[in-house]
């Protein structure tokens, strides 16, 4: 604390003079007599009756945000006791219109003639920069400052929890931004019910709030799980009390921290990943950061980046394999299914079950899908020379159907070759989403209009869309191989496949049985009247050259 004698009246005169050339508010706070004087313009913005007043501490508390009072009083007490040389704090003051604005307050502690003063300036930071007007919470930048201060002054452990509103974008679009703000206030009120310590709750970008919670007695991540449950239950009670005029759920991601080990950026990254995992895993849940899962996630991002690179560089490492489809009644080749394979320089050969979901997540399946159609059509055009009724089966992703102009792509790439459209079957894996989007049925009808055939792939493994079968949008049903394994020994499998074949035939549809590997299985499906067989018994997926060697050469030679 500075010790210096000065004339208080001269200081007041100097204060009034300087305020004419600055946007800041100058002040002199007399701790000893609990009096204060500010720049005259302060009453234009903040609800002080005068710029000079007695009972200054109480007057100050009346304009400070309730969540910031304890922090401010602690700082001022430190200065009054001589443990701080200067005051430098950012907090919130109420304005004359009842809203709060963030301020930066700086000053020096001075003793003059036995009286303790704080002399300095106040500047408005702005309503949006440090705290959120809607919820009244500090923003992410303050959370970062709080965490970094913890790192400087103490060794602490605890957790950071990010809480987000599920489907917040849809809520805003359906009900409007006002309802979105109301939802965020319900969330923050629920959190405040269990955490009333200042600088523990923060407003993050979008629909998220952050809870910064150092451990007090013991390190126990169960605290985070229990806190999430209490917040969620509180929100449920509010929704019920409001008679469900608004409904939403919340997800949370939690990461533990150690201030001697974790930077703020790492901590926030881990919490964001956990929140992302909670939403991917079904929402309305809390996930705790798991380093093993995070490493897998980073690897997945790396694979997606490599997929993107390979696609952009001429589809490097991609190759079409073809698995034969036979007519079981005469053992003659009737067609093939085109199957994508990827052998990249960085990760080596990778199964389609690993990389196709990543292609679909990133929509890279759309450009790769065009390449697949073109490559399959090129092979088909070549093989119909020897087998005039040869049919090429090409898989379509649901992403291609709903996120691209798939009909335009198909007509463009198949139109490059002379094989007619009826030489192609497009396979779609059955999914419940097909029934939810009216535009999907319109796309299917466009395929039929252009003389393409459609097949339901993996029929029976999930959501079976009998409506599309009834309407004869699909004319081929491909029975999943899980029903064929040991069909000669498993009566239930036999009965299930028998039912599917009979139903399809009575509806005028064809049946292709996948996964036939043994003579015994082949005998069963022949007996059941399958129209087509696909499986290792006739051949595994192979490259163009091997397919021609194994399945076309003997046909040509007779």
pLDDT tens, 396-425?
998 999 899 999 999 999 999 999 999 999
Give residue 479's domain range.
Answer: 320-557
- Using CA atoms, how far apart are residues 46 and 42, in angstroms rounded to an integer? 6
Residues 430, 493, single domain; the answer is yes
What are the tens digits of pLDDT across the range 345-359?
A: 999 999 999 999 999
The whole-model pTM stands at 0.69
12 in the same domain as 94: yes
- Of the candidates 177, 160, 379, the one whose C-alpha atom is nearest the C-alpha of residue 274 is 160
- Burial status of residue 352 (CB atoms within 10 A of its CB: 0-12, 13-18, 19 or more): middle
Q: Which two tokens stand for residue 260?
A: 């001697």
Q: pLDDT by residue (tens digit) across 427-448?
A: 998 665 666 677 888 899 999 9
Going by the DSSP 8-state scheme, the letter that residue 131 receives in this structure is: B
CA distance linking residue 212 with residue 395, whole number of Å: 48
Residue 245 reports pLDDT greater than 70: yes
The per-residue pLDDT for 436 is 60
Number of H helices, E strands in the chain: 20, 22
Proportion of the chain in helix, strand, coil states, percent, rounded to 5:
45, 25, 30
Centre a 10 Å sphere on the Cβ of residue 105 and count the other Cβ atoms it contains.
19
For residues 241 and 161, membership in a common domain is answered with yes
Asked, for residue 354, whether it belongs to a domain, the answer is: yes
Q: How far apart are CA 266 and CA 390, in angstroms?
A: 57
- 93 and 213 fall within a common domain: no
Q: How far apart are CA 494 and CA 499, in angstroms?
A: 9
H-run or E-run covering 511: strand 510-514
What is the count of structural domains for the chain? 3
| pLDDT for the residue numbered 249 | 96
Sole residue written with tokens 């020897």: 386
Domain termination site, one of 77, 102, 126 = 126
Same domain, yes or no: 273 and 246? yes
User: Which contacts of 291-296 are long-range, i.e. CB under 8 A and separated by 24 or more positions?
Assistant: 294/270
282 located within any domain: yes
CATH number, domain of 347, equals 3.20.20.450
Given this model, what pLDDT does residue 108 score? 86
Q: Look over the chain and give the mean of its residue pLDDT values, rounded to a whole number.
A: 87
Looking at the structure, tell me whether residues 451 and 330 fall in a common domain: yes
Distance CA 303, CA 362 (A): 11
Give the per-residue pLDDT at 424: 98
Distance of CA 323 to the CA centre of its chain: 36
For 250-264, what is the mean pLDDT?
A: 94
Kindly indicate the confidence band of residue 55, based on its pLDDT and cuts at 50, 70 and 90.
very high
d(CA 344, CA 329): 40
CATH code, 243: 3.30.70.270
Burial of 323 (C-beta count, 10 Å sphere; 0-12/13-18/19+): buried
Q: Would residue 40 count as lying in a domain?
A: yes
Q: Could you give the residue ranges of the DSSP H alpha helices within 352-470?
A: 352-362, 365-383, 398-403, 406-414, 438-449, 466-470
At 14 the pLDDT is: 58
Domain-located, residue 72: yes
The pLDDT of residue 280 is above 50: yes
pLDDT at residue 471, as a whole number: 67
201 falls within a domain:
yes
Q: Report the distance separating Cα 220 and Cα 199, nearest Å.
A: 21
Q: Where are the alpha helices (DSSP H) in 281-351?
A: 291-312
Closest CA to 252 of 275, 272, 271: 275
Q: Which of 247, 294, 282, 283 is nearest to 164 (CA)?
A: 283
How remote is the C-alpha of 174 from its chain's centroid?
20
State which of 247, 269, 289 marks the end of a domain. 289
Percent with pLDDT over 90 in the chain: 52
Q: In the predicted model, is pLDDT for residue 117 greater than 80?
A: yes
DSSP letters of 432-451?
Answer: GGGGT-HHHHHHHHHHHHTT
**Residue 45 to residue 94: CA distance in whole angstroms:** 9
Question: Can you name the residues that pair with 164 across neighbouring β-strands?
Answer: 208, 251
| Vertex 313: Cα angle to 311 and 315 (nearest 5) | 45
- Check whether residue 331 and residue 414 sit in a common domain: yes
Residue 279 has pLDDT above 50, yes or no: yes
| Alpha carbon distance 56, 36 (integer Å) | 6
d(CA 239, CA 192): 17
What is the Cα Rg of the chain in Å?
Answer: 35
Q: Is 341 left (phi over 0), alpha (psi -120 to 50) or beta?
A: beta
Domain boundary among 289, 310, 337: 289
Asked whether residue 328 falls in the same domain as residue 476, the answer is yes
pLDDT per residue over 162-175, tens digit each? 999 999 988 888 88
Indicate if 406 and 495 belong to the same structural domain. yes
d(CA 344, CA 309): 10
Judged against a pLDDT cut of 90, whether residue 318 lies above it is answered with yes
pLDDT at position 387? 92
Same domain, 359 and 444: yes
Sheet of strand 250-258: strand arrangement: 138-139, 201-203, 208-214, 157-165, 250-258, 286-288
Q: Is 303 a member of any domain?
A: no
Angstrom CA distances, 122 to 21, 42, 118, 172, 392, stand at: 14, 10, 12, 37, 76
Query: Within a domain: residue 246?
Result: yes
387 and 522 share a domain?
A: yes
Give the closest residue to 414 by CA, choosing from 429, 392, 442.
Answer: 392
Q: What is the CATH number of the domain that holds 52?
A: 3.30.450.20
Quickly tell me which residue has 């950061």 as its tokens. Answer: 289
* Residue 301 counted as domain residue: no
Q: Are residues 361 and 461 in the same domain?
A: yes
Q: Which residue has the tokens 């080596």?
A: 348
- Tell me, what DSSP letter sits at residue 204? P
């Amino acid at each position: 604390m500075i010790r210096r004698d000065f004339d208080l009246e001269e200081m007041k005169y100097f204060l009034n003079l300087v305020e004419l050339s600055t946007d800041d508010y100058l002040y002199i706070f007399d701790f000893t007599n609990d009096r204060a004087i500010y720049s005259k313009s302060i009453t234009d913005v903040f609800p002080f009756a005068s710029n000079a007043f007695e009972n200054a501490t109480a007057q100050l508390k009346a304009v400070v945000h309730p969540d910031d009072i304890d922090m401010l009083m602690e700082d001022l007490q430190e200065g009054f006791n001589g443990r701080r040389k200067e005051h430098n704090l950012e907090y919130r003051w109420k304005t004359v219109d009842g809203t709060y604005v963030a301020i930066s307050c700086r000053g020096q502690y001075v003793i003059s003639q036995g009286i303790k003063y704080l002399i300095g300036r106040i500047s408005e930071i702005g309503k949006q920069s440090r705290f959120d007007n809607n919820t009244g919470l500090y923003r992410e930048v303050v959370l970062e400052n709080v965490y970094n201060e913890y790192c400087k002054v103490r060794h602490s452990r605890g957790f950071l929890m990010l809480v987000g509103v599920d489907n917040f974008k849809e809520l805003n679009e359906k009900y409007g931004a006002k309802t979105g703000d109301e939802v965020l206030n319900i969330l923050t009120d629920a959190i405040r019910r269990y955490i009333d310590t200042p600088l523990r709750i923060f407003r993050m970008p979008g629909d998220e709030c952050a809870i910064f919670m150092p451990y007090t007695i013991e390190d126990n991540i169960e605290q985070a799980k229990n806190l999430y449950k209490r917040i969620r239950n509180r929100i449920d009670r509010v929704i019920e009390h409001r008679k469900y005029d608004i409904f939403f759920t919340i997800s949370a991601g939690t990461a533990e921290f150690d201030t001697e080990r974790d930077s703020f950026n790492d901590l926030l990254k881990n919490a964001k990943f956990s929140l992302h995992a909670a939403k991917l895993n079904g929402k309305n849940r809390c996930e705790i950061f798991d380093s093993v899962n995070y490493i897998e996630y980073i690897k997945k991002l790396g694979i997606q980046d490599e997929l993107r690179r390979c696609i952009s560089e001429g589809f490097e490492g991609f190759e079409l394999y073809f698995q034969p489809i036979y007519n079981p009644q005469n053992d003659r080749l009737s067609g093939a299914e085109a199957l994508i394979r990827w052998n990249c320089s960085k990760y080596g050969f990778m199964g389609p079950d690993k990389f196709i979901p990543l292609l679909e997540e990133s929509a890279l399946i759309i450009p790769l899908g065009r390449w697949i159609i073109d490559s399959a059509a090129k092979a088909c055009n070549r093989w119909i020379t020897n087998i005039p009724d040869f049919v090429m089966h090409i898989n379509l992703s649901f992403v291609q159907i709903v996120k691209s102009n798939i009909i335009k792509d198909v007509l463009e790439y198949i139109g490059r070759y002379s094989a007619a459209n009826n030489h192609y079957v497009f396979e779609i894996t059955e999914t419940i989403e097909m029934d939810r989007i009216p535009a999907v049925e319109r796309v299917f009808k466009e395929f039929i209009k252009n003389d393409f055939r459609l097949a339901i792939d993996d029929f029976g493994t999930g959501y079976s869309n009998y409506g599309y079968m009834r309407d004869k949008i699909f004319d081929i049903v491909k029975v999943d191989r899980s029903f064929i394994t040991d069909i000669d020994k498993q009566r239930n499998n036999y009965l299930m496949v028998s039912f599917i074949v009979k139903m399809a035939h009575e509806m005028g549809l064809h049946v292709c049985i996948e996964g036939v590997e043994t003579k015994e299985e082949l005998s069963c499906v022949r007996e059941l009247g399958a129209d087509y067989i696909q499986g290792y018994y006739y051949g595994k997926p192979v490259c163009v050259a091997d397919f021609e060697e194994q399945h076309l050469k003997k046909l040509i030679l007779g």
